[in-house]
Structures are given as C-alpha cells and as structure tokens.
Amino acid sequence: MPFYHKLGNIPPKRHIQFRKPNGELYYEQLFGTVGFDGMYSNMYHVHRPTQVKEIKRQYSVAPKVVKPNNMQSYRLYGFDVAPEKDYLESRKIVLTNTDCHITLASPQNKTQDYFYKNTDSDEMIFIHKGSGTLRTLLGNLDFKYGDYIVVPRGIIYKIDFDTEDNRLFIVESRRPIYTPKRYRNWFGQLLEHSPFCERDLRRPEKLETHDETGEFIIKVKKRDEIIEMVYASHPFDVVGYDGYNYPYAFSIHDFEPITGRIHQPPPVHQTFETDAFVVCSFVPRLYDYHPLSIPAPYNHSNIDSDEVLYYVDGDFMSRNDVKPGQISLHPAGIPHGPHPGAYERSIGKTETKELAVMVDTFKPLMVTEEAMKIADEKYYQSWL
C-alpha cells in the first residue's frame, strides 16, 4: 500500500544493531518488491528467517486449460464449486492467462496446520461468504462479508475461518496490485475526489510474535507448483516492522460511487489496478438524472480486454436471471450489452442495489477444466 505503516518495536534507524533484552541481536529482513525499486518493509525477527531444515513434497497446482483461444461468452455457477476442508485444495482456477489466475474457493476448515506463501503473485481475496482472521508475519486482519484482502507476494500467512460456510473470489496477480494512480497525488495520498480514502483501508493491528523452534511447514507457491519447506523457527516471530509493503483490507461497502447525469463508464468504479488488469466495484448507487437518461449500459465491444463480472448480491440491472456467486465472461473483440428487455426496463429507475466485482484483463483469458464443470455453455445465446 502506498502509505507508511509501523507496528511493534523497531530501532531508530535501519541497518543498525537492535538487541533483545538478553543482549542478543534481532535479525533484520528487508521485504521488498520490484527489485529495490518497489514498495518495501523492514522487519525484525527473533530467529534467523533463513533456517530451512528439509524440503519435502513438490507438486503441480497448474490449471488444466481446455479452451486456450476462447471467443465464447460464458456464465459460471460459482456456488456449484464444492466445499473442501483444506484451504489450498479448495482453490479452483476457472480462468487464467500469463498475468493472473481467477479462482473460486469454498474452504471449510477454521485453520490449517501449515503456513502458506505465494512467491509468484499478489493475491486479492474477496470475501463473499464467511468471516475470520487473516494471520500473517506482519500482523493480523479480521475480515467479513464484502471485504477485499490484498496480500502482497511473499507474505507468509494462514487463514482462520469462523464458520464452515465460506465463499471466496480470488485473483492471483503476477504484477503488483495498487490503488489506481489517478486517485493519488504526487505524494501518494488519495485525492479528495477518490471513491475511497486512507480511513477506509484497514491495516494490520495485532502482531503475533512467537519465540518457538521446531518444525514448521510453509507451503510455498512458485511457478504453479507447491513446495513444502520445513523451517526451524515459527514464521510469525517478527517483533516489529515499518514500511509500505504489508497486507491490508478494504470493504466494498466503503466504496463511494461516482454518478452523473448520463451513464458513467466502468473506470468510475475502479478499485485496484495493475499494468495487466483492473478491478472495479459495482455498488448500490443513484441512477443517472438526465431527463432522457437510459441507466442500463450501452452495448459495447471490449476490443482490448476480456471482461469478468462476479455477482455478489442484489439485482444486476443489465442481466436477466443472475444470482449471487455467478460469473460472466465476455471475451475481447465481440460486443455485449444488456439482456433483452433490460435496456427498456431501466428507463425511469432511480437507483440500483447491485453489488458485483469486475476484472478486466488486457490479455485473453483461457477457460479451464474447473470452469467447464460449472459452465452454462448456452449463455452466449441469451441475447437472442
């Protein structure tokens, strides 16, 4: 996140001696991205964070692509993804390209007996159902329905769920995930007319510090494989850190919509960006107030991006028969728009209660085997 955060105890300057009460040194670690050019934090460990005792299993979790060159619109029934007890096993990649994986998950367990680290990708985890705590080496975050959780690559974490009925929409990004640059001034502060501000972004508050040695399994994801590594000390042994690189949460319910006299284009709903895709939040809002306005979106062609819409709640005004948990995929290069009747039906409406997350990718998305298990293959004919 592009603003400074400090938690726990740290020395007055970087790269100087910082000692424990018994006189021994704490172990400093620079946690940075994009080489030495991106956001970073400096953390201080009780034990050396480099002590690997054993490397165990290594296995593939790469998606199985069945449509590498897709031009068909699909509807996916996301709630048909079966719940699974294990958090990582519950994650089903439904759409993918070289920049990102789009994933559905329904994990049942309240915690797992391992830690997890994604070294390839930032993770944006949207909480559709469930609540709990994201526990990380940089502190903990409570989460609930409607929360986006952004976990930068390399963060070691585990998730404790409060219940067994959890539904997650996850985007793994091989590019760093940021707040949109146009929302920020030269110094990184969110501007007055941004649809959210720093007060809406929840940073880690409680820092766990475990002074424990033994055997601790971290499942590390690299190049679509999981490598099980056994470390000699508890990964949550940080006594303090500061910097700009840490996990944070933002509720979709805190997004303040931008409206106008006529229909506003999707960029007004933008919430996150990378140089490979954008994420938008469609939230309850007043409709357009020009006397001749048509609130439903006009037909449009995504010439340069695939459009993915994940439906969260409410009545999505441009679609017929849409339910929570469903995903629509509209590939680049072909036009799409309101379903029959939606264009006319929207005239005179004053507000919408829709809630949805949109991901627009600049490279085509490939359809996976997991997607075809939950796909409506005749969706592309629903405009007839």
- Please write the tens of the pLDDT for every residue from 302-311: 788 999 999 9
Position 1 confidence tier, pLDDT thresholds 50, 70, 90 = low
**DSSP assignment letter at 85:** S
pLDDT of residue 82: 95
Tokens of 313: 């709640």
Asked if residue 384 has pLDDT above 80, the reply is yes
Give 348-376 as a DSSP string. Answer: T--EE--EEEEEEESSPPEEEHHHHTTEE
Asked if residue 166 has pLDDT above 90, the reply is yes
Q: Which residues are annotated as a binding site for Fe cation?
A: 300, 306, 336
User: What's the number of CA atoms in the CB half-sphere (13 Å) around residue 175?
Assistant: 15
Asked if residue 93 has pLDDT above 90, the reply is yes
Asked if residue 25 has pLDDT above 80, the reply is yes
**DSSP assignment letter at 105:** E
Averaged pLDDT for residues 111-131? 95
Give 250-275 as a DSSP string. Answer: EEGGG------SSPPPGGGGEEEE-S
Strand partners, 168: 105, 127
Cβ atoms of 61 and 367 within 8 Å: the answer is no
pLDDT of residue 24: 97
pLDDT of residue 38: 86
Asked if residue 320 has pLDDT above 90, the reply is no
Cβ atoms of 228 and 46 within 8 Å: the answer is no
Picking from 120, 122, 121, 152, the residue whose alpha carbon sits closest to that of residue 137 is: 152
pLDDT of residue 160: 95
User: What's the number of CA atoms in the CB half-sphere (13 Å) around residue 57?
Assistant: 8
Percent of the chain with pLDDT over 70: 99
The rounded distance, in Å, linking the Cα atoms of 313 and 375 is 20
Q: Delimit the domains of the chain by residue range.
A: 255-381
pLDDT in tens, 187-233: 889 999 999 999 999 999 889 999 999 999 999 999 999 999 999 99
Asked if residue 79 has pLDDT above 90, the reply is yes
Distant-in-sequence, close-in-space partners of 283: CB < 8 Å, separation ≥ 6: 252, 253, 255, 257, 269, 354, 355
Average of per-residue pLDDT values in the chain: 95
Tokens of 24: 């021994």
pLDDT of residue 36: 84
Q: Which residue has the higher pLDDT, 146 or 319?
A: 146
Residue 235, helix vs strand vs coil: coil
Averaged pLDDT for residues 170-182? 95
Distant-in-sequence, close-in-space partners of 60: CB < 8 Å, separation ≥ 6: 224, 225
Q: Which residues are annotated as a binding site for homogentisate?
A: 336
Position 110 confidence tier, pLDDT thresholds 50, 70, 90 = confident
pLDDT of residue 126: 98
Tokens of 71: 């031009």
What global pTM score does this model have? Answer: 0.96
User: Of the residues 15, 234, 263, 290, which is catalytic?
Assistant: 263
pLDDT in tens, 237-255: 999 999 999 999 999 999 9
Please say if 263 is a catalytic residue. yes
Residue 183, helix vs strand vs coil: helix
pLDDT of residue 368: 98
The rounded distance, in Å, linking the Cα atoms of 367 and 82 is 19
Residue 21, helix vs strand vs coil: coil
Under CATH, which number does the domain 255-381 receive? 2.60.120.10
Distant-in-sequence, close-in-space partners of 220: CB < 8 Å, separation ≥ 6: 117, 119, 226, 227, 228, 229
Tokens of 362: 């600049």
Q: Which residues are annotated as a binding site?
A: 300, 306, 336
